[in-house]
Amino acid sequence: MNANAMNPTINAAFDGGNIRVVAIDGDRIDLEIVTDHQSDFFQWFYFRVAGAAGRTLTYRILNAGKSAYPFGWPGYKTRASTDRQAWRMIETRYEGGVLEFDFTADSDLVWFAYFAPYTMEMHEALVARTALLPGVAHRELGQSLDGQAIDCFTIGSGPKQVWIYGRQHPGESMTEWWMEGALERLTDSADPITADLLAKATFNVVPNMNPDGTRRGHLRTNAVGVNLNREWHTPSLEKSPEVLCVRNAMDLTGVDVAMDIHGDEAIPANFIAGYEGIPSWTDAHGEKFYDYGRRLAAHTPDFQTEKGYPKSAPGTANLSMSTNQLAERFGAVSMTLEMPFKDHDANPDAEYGWSPERSKQLAHAMLETLADMIDEI
């Protein structure tokens, strides 16, 4: 056996992968996360290890302290999988700017990720099976800078226009798990709550706003390093065609309710952010957003209203962010959902933390809550 054969092999050259090997020294593997292309953002990682069976190896991500949100690492736990189906949390340490974890592999292959991945191949499968379902209309609204499709599903016939979109920040993979749950519920022809909701509202669902960043393994930006959630005031074909084609489609329908689905690195809770600070703010408009949050918290233990982002002061809302832009542009009841990379601490899961399945269940709860108040919007 040659010396190289004794070392495990690290690989991230696949759909959504991200890591760079710095050094392998015995049982210690030093790594770095790669920045988004043409950007300084990085935090998402996803890689596989071959040839580690029966060994306890220590993995160290040396540049974690320089990542986009280093305050997200304390209390965070890496996800590990041997089948790419179940992603369990493993004990993870963060000290001196280094993220470190140990793993004893009982199989030839193991994968590690910041959160359970939702790759572009998984997205294509979601699009294919959803497009075949009765009552679903598929449109390609436009294309990304890399030429990938911006897919949109229209479901329902009611007068209220609901737009649901996610994955503006591609490393927030829990968002497309949520989207999968939402699409499954909206296409459940046997569900009476769904049937009633679809009679009152038409849903436009864009499951992935940033396919280029998803495939490239980015945290936050598209193919040219642009943060799409800072493009909604003046999107362009050159920098943000993904936003431009979606906003153009919204202009044709109008928007009564908007849900922008995200993940948050630091806060161990699910919460929604609103549109305080927009020029046209009224208490009556804002109360619909607050009422939704209260009803959702009462409806599921996987949501709360105590933790979240600070509210913008009057007149200071950033209109380049979609939630603010759509509330101002259309008078929409507009919200940003944030799900944790950690866990929903009010209702924790010691094995999986916040997970794909719980993301999907939260989508169901959010649609049920919307059904309960759609007549009032």
Same domain, 9 and 124: no
Same domain, 288 and 256: yes
Residues 293-302, mean pLDDT to the nearest whole number: 98
Same domain, 64 and 127: no
Residue numbers of the domain that contains 164:
120-376
Residues 196-220, mean pLDDT to the nearest whole number: 98
Look at residues 70, 85, 113 and tell me which one is the last residue of a structural domain: 113
Cβ atoms within 10 Å, residue 159: 10
Same domain, 180 and 319: yes
pLDDT(5) > 90: no
Q: Does the pTM exceed 0.85?
A: yes
Structure tokens at 135: 């009552």
Same domain, 335 and 233: yes
Same domain, 238 and 303: yes
Query: What is the DSSP secondary-structure string of 73-97?
Result: STT--EEEESSSS--EEE-EEEETT
Same domain, 105 and 132: no
Q: What is the pLDDT of residues 7-47, one digit of tens each?
A: 999 999 999 999 999 999 999 999 999 999 999 999 999 99
- Buried b / exposed e along 346-358 (16+ C-beta atoms within 10 A): eeeeeebbbbbeb
Nearest by Cα to 302 from 338, 269, 268 = 269
Q: What is the pLDDT of residues 226-261, one digit of tens each?
A: 999 999 999 999 999 999 999 999 999 999 999 999
Q: Please compute, for residue 328, the number of CA atoms within 13 A of its CA located in the half-sphere on the CB side.
A: 19
Q: Which of the residues are catalytic?
A: 338
pLDDT of residue 4: 44
Residues 347-352, mean pLDDT to the nearest whole number: 97
Instruction: Please say whether the beta carbons of 351 and 88 come within 8 A.
Output: yes
pLDDT(3) > 80: no
Angle (CA) 247 327 185, round 5°: 70
5-19, 298-312, 344-358: range with lowest mean pLDDT: 5-19
| CATH code where residue 294 lies | 3.40.630.10
Same domain, 169 and 308: yes
pLDDT(1) > 80: no
Same domain, 32 and 157: no
pLDDT(2) > 50: no
| CATH code where residue 68 lies | 2.60.40.3120
Considering its fold, how many domains does the chain have in total? 2
Same domain, 78 and 134: no
pLDDT of residue 6: 80
Q: What percentage of residues in the chain have a pLDDT greater than 90?
A: 98
Angle (CA) 156 174 71, round 5°: 140
The mean predicted confidence, pLDDT, of the chain is 97
Angle (CA) 158 164 167, round 5°: 165
Q: What percentage of residues in the chain have a pLDDT greater than 70?
A: 99
Look at residues 113, 148, 181 and tell me which one is the last residue of a structural domain: 113
Look at residues 113, 144, 168 and tell me which one is the last residue of a structural domain: 113
Same domain, 24 and 149: no
Same domain, 44 and 134: no
Residues 313-331, mean pLDDT to the nearest whole number: 98
51 confidence band (pLDDT: 50, 70, 90): very high
299 confidence band (pLDDT: 50, 70, 90): very high
Nearest by Cα to 271 from 244, 290, 252 = 290
Q: What is the DSSP letter of 115?
A: S
Distances (CA, A) of 236 to 233, 247, 255, 296: 10, 11, 21, 35
Q: What is the pLDDT of residues 146-167, one digit of tens each?
A: 999 999 999 999 999 999 999 9
